[in-house]
Structure 1
Amino acid sequence: MTRRRLLLLSVSAGAGHVRAAEALRAAAADFDVEVLHLDVMQHVPRAFRTLYTDLYLKLVEHSPSTWAMLYRIMDRTPPSAPAARLRRAIERLNTLDLRREIARFGPDAVVCTHFLPAELLMRERSRGRLACPVHVVVTDFDLHGMWVVPDMAGWFAASDEVAFRMRARGLDAARIHVTGIPIMPAFAQAHDRAACAAEFGIDPARRAILLMGGGAGLGGLDEVAARLLALDADFQLVALAGRNAKALEQLQALAARHPQRLVAQGFTDKVDRLMRACDLVITKPGGLTTSECLALGRPMIVHAPIPGQEERNCDYLLEQGAALKAVDAIALDYRVRELLADPAHLATLAERARSLGRPQAARDVLVRVLGG
């Protein structure tokens, strides 16, 4: 018998949709299935890719108020509206290569971690050009109207509230599943904190804070790190620069002036081990990163949310008692001082985070999609 074929479709407008698909691909190793992950933006004309991804990133960085307005307008626009129909027509015209790739692979099931491919395949199914089931995974703790794609085989929600919103918008309750947001299987594995700390040069006997990115109102990574290190408190700081070589160089220079206090870390595929070595995470409230923190029971200080989806993520974390919010640099200093001086509060945040975590989300999605 030939192995079943699973197609994962993401969109690289921000990193979260791609990371969710990659998490599903990694989890699929436990299933007897052939997997292909396609980023839609790698199969469209350059002009469309620039418009769809670069414009979005520029808006959220340079004109967040404009993006907030567009987010609200698009949320309220019905699928039958002329503007929505025109948008879908433009998307269809620019995704011919993608549809050829899908037909060439011949999937037995499709999982979309972005609404764009879900909308495309909804039409393909209605025209009889695709017979296999198509599923949608929502990658935030909110439900925007563009994610409400009808006639899917299943919709996967990050939380009970998102599932409630799906039902309220008319989706079939029997096909809605609360699984959480897919994250890498490594976040479901058990590891010793001391061993993880030693791997990155962190003293497991001292408290450690993981700083993941600067942002609006906070400044660059090196500025934030320098200010935190000036606080009158005993802790180690781990600053994750990712692929930003300039930021890493600045952090390394700062670390040389603060031996045993600052660890400057570049890109790593072991973020789960880095988080395990730390007691608190300072981050933007993206759906994937916050889901990773929740899975490990790591409390958060969140900052600089993108208007719309990240603001809703932030609201969810604050309402659930798993995070605090820093509206600016002064607030960040205050929150850090407050938590370090109150271990009971930090422990309560950690407990609430752990209670919300869904480390097996990727596997739970695939069980529904593939069975077994």
Structure 2
Amino acid sequence: TGEVRVMQPLVREAFRQSRNRAAVRQRYGFAADDFVPLVVAGAWGIGNVALIVRDVVECGVRVVVVCGKNQELAEQLRREYAGCSTVQVWGWTDQLPELMTAADCLIQNAGGLTCLEAIACGLPVLMYRPIAGHGVFNAAAMERAGAARWIRSADELRMVLRGAAAGRIQLPVPKIDEDAVPAAEAILTLVAGRGARIGTGRTLAAQLVRSGSS
């Protein structure tokens, strides 16, 4: 319940840097007319990522998959798509800022830091097959805030990706509330200055509400 607003995300400066998108795409081997979803399942590569990738591949688009530290998943996908030139499988990488510049949308299943990085990059976010718990909660919250679209079925995914690739659908770029930018700094200041601890005395959430920073 309540209002959801999008702050300026606390991410590395690399995700805010301006790059020559055409040059970055060429470096990764993408043609000018390729529509490229970037599938990322966080640092752990958890969830039903293999099924997500298969659903995206069936949409007839070029796919980049980042498996994080889940080497078993990366090896499984490399075997499954060996010889398929439209699928790139990555393990752990520090090139996410460049990959997000080159991609046309992010497909995510948890809604954590990767989504904040995409928001900072101005990359449209699609939540698909979110993991139980915080994945579903984040999908609902970000959809309500206009920061992501929650794709609820393989049929909807095909409709959206094929429509976006053909130019019939414009995926919305996440909007950051200008007047909410100081809130992230306020959180850090509050924690550092007052030694706030969740569960003792006034909670961090309560302090933020009372200080006008929520």
TM-score range, shorter chain: 0.5 to 0.7
Distance 2:10 2:183 in 1: 4
Equivalent residue in structure 1 for 2:112, among 287, 290, 298: 287
Matches of 2:187 and 2:143 in 1, distance apart? 29
Q: Which runs of 4+ in 1 moved over 6 A?
A: 360-363
| 1:1-372 map, 5 Å | 161=4, 179-213=7-41, 219-221=48-50, 223-231=51-59, 233=60, 235-259=61-85, 261-307=86-132, 309-346=134-171, 349-350=172-173, 353-355=174-176, 364=185
Aligned residues with identical type, % of pairs: 25
Partners of 1:255 and 1:315 lie apart in 2 by 32
> CA 1:362–1:242 in structure 2 vs 1: closer, same or farther (change >3 Å)?
farther
Separation (CA, whole Å) in 2 of partners of 1:300 and 1:201: 22
1:240–1:266 contact (8 Å) kept in structure 2: yes
- Please tell me the residue identity of whatever aligns with 2:73: A
Q: 1:305 to 1:189 in 2, by over 3 A?
A: same
Deviates more, 1:289-298 or 1:337-346: 337-346
In the TM superposition, residue 364 of structure 1 has moved relative to its aligned partner by: 4.4
Tell me the TM-score normalized by structure 2: 0.68
1:204: Cα distance to partner? 4.4
Richer in helix (by share): 1
Superposition RMSD in Å: 3.6
CA 1:265–1:198 in structure 2 vs 1: closer, same or farther (change >3 Å)?
Answer: farther
Cα contact 2:140–2:150 (8 A) shared by 1? no
Extract unaligned runs of 5+ from structure 2.
193-214
C-alpha distance after superposition, 1:290-345 (max 9, x if no partner): 21111111112202435554434222322233422233444433432343345443
Name the CA distance, whole Å, in 1 between partners of 2:56 and 2:184.
38
Q: Is the contact made by 2:64 and 2:87 (CA closer than 8 Å) also made in structure 1? A: yes
SS of 2:161's equivalent in the other structure is: helix
- Aligned pairs, number: 187
1:1-35: CA deviations, max 9, x gaps? xxxxxxxxxxxxxxxxxxxxxxxxxxxxxxxxxxx
Q: SS at 2:38's partner residue?
A: strand
Q: Which has the higher strand share?
A: 1
Other-structure match for 1:79: none
Distance (whole Å) between structure 2 residues aligned to residue 257 and residue 362 of structure 1: 48
One-letter amino acid of the counterpart of residue 35, structure 2? R
